[in-house]
């Protein structure tokens, strides 16, 4: 497999580009590549090129783009994963796997039962680490689009913001006794507009007040099966089921 590197500054028609420092260090120190080696570079916006390493030096690593190549196709339905922040390494793993499943954007949420204190997000270190995880996952899975990663918001802030697509809120079976949106036909229709937000709660689930508020803002409650899933498993199951229904797998 040809090594792939993220080159956000590469523009169509541009013959050469310098890689970001972390990407250049990975190329030179980890992969131990040098001048003349063939690599692929992608811009994070859906474009990828076959390239050769032009220079490896103290001031950085530059590559020469040779020809465009076809990256892994993006899903037809643009999915934004709106995920309550999970504790420990669970959020890291989820960001990696959701990126591999093709999400277009990720909006972390702070909810009533989120088991991560807001001060944990006062600096930029956590967001920077999440961004690195997303880029690494894009490199591994063959995508050329880096999902947008928003700063954490309160659920009330997120619901008050404009949303052009359909909002699907994953809930436990007992919270959705009427089965608001369960049939394949209904799920298929939810993706007809090409833009869907999938909301997933924290380890403790959604608070009753949050469910009521989500309904008021037009969220459709969704339950997949009769089993209660872990908070880190539920979004991956949902993404897989939805992409199957929409024909994106």
Cα dihedral value 75, 220, 106, 84, nearest 10: -140
What CATH number belongs to 4-69?
2.40.240.20
Q: How many CB atoms lie within 10 A of CB 225?
A: 10
Q: How many CB atoms lie within 10 A of CB 19?
A: 24
Please give the pLDDT value at position 25: 95
- Domain positions in the chain are 4-69, 78-246
CA distance 138 to 237: 20
User: For residue 145, what is the DSSP state?
Assistant: B
Domain 78-246 belongs in CATH node 3.40.50.300: no
Phi and psi at residue 38, in whole multiples of 5°?
-90, 135
70: nearest Cα among 100, 49, 43: 49
Task: With residue 182 as reference, give the H or E element that holds it.
Answer: none
pLDDT for position 180: 53
Among residues 162, 154, 152, 167, which one has the least CA distance to residue 209? Answer: 154
End-to-end C-alpha distance for the chain, whole angstroms: 22
How many whole angstroms separate alpha carbon 169 and alpha carbon 192?
17
pLDDT of residue 123: 64
Provide the H-helix boundaries in the chain. Answer: 21-25, 90-100, 125-141, 155-160, 184-190, 208-216, 234-246
- Strand (E) or helix (H) holding 141: helix 125-141
pLDDT tens for the chain, residues 1 to 249: 899 999 999 887 778 899 999 999 999 999 999 999 999 999 999 999 999 999 998 889 999 999 999 999 999 999 999 999 998 789 999 999 999 999 999 999 999 988 776 666 666 688 899 999 999 999 999 999 999 999 999 999 999 998 888 999 998 877 655 555 556 677 777 777 889 999 999 988 999 999 999 999 999 888 877 778 888 999 999 999 899 988 887
């Amino acid at each position: 497999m040809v090594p792939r590197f993220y080159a956000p500054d590469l523009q169509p028609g541009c013959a050469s580009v310098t890689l970001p420092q972390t990407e250049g260090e990975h190329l030179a120190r980890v992969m131990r590549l040098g001048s003349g080696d063939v690599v692929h570079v992608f811009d994070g916006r859906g474009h990828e090129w076959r390239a050769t390493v032009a220079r490896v030096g103290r001031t950085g690593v530059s590559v020469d783009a040779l020809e465009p190549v076809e990256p892994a196709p993006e899903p037809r339905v643009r999915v934004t994963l709106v995920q309550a922040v999970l504790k420990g390494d669970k959020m890291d793993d989820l960001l990696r796997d959701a990126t591999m499943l093709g999400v277009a954007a990720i909006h972390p949420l702070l909810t009533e039962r989120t088991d991560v204190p807001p001060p944990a997000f006062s600096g930029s270190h956590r967001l920077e680490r999440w961004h690195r995880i997303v880029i690494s996952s894009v490199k591994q899975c063959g995508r050329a689009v880096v999902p947008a990663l928003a700063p954490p918001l309160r659920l009330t802030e997120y619901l008050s913001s404009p949303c052009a697509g359909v909002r699907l809120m994953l809930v436990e079976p007992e919270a959705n006794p009427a089965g608001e949106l369960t049939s394949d036909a209904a799920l298929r229709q939810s993706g007809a507009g090409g833009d869907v937000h999938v909301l997933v709660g924290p380890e403790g689930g959604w608070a009753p007040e949050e469910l009521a508020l989500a309904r008021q803002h037009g969220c459709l409650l969704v339950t997949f099966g009769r089993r209660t899933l872990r908070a880190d498993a539920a979004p991956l199951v949902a993404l897989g089921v939805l992409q199957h229904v929409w024909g994106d797998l």
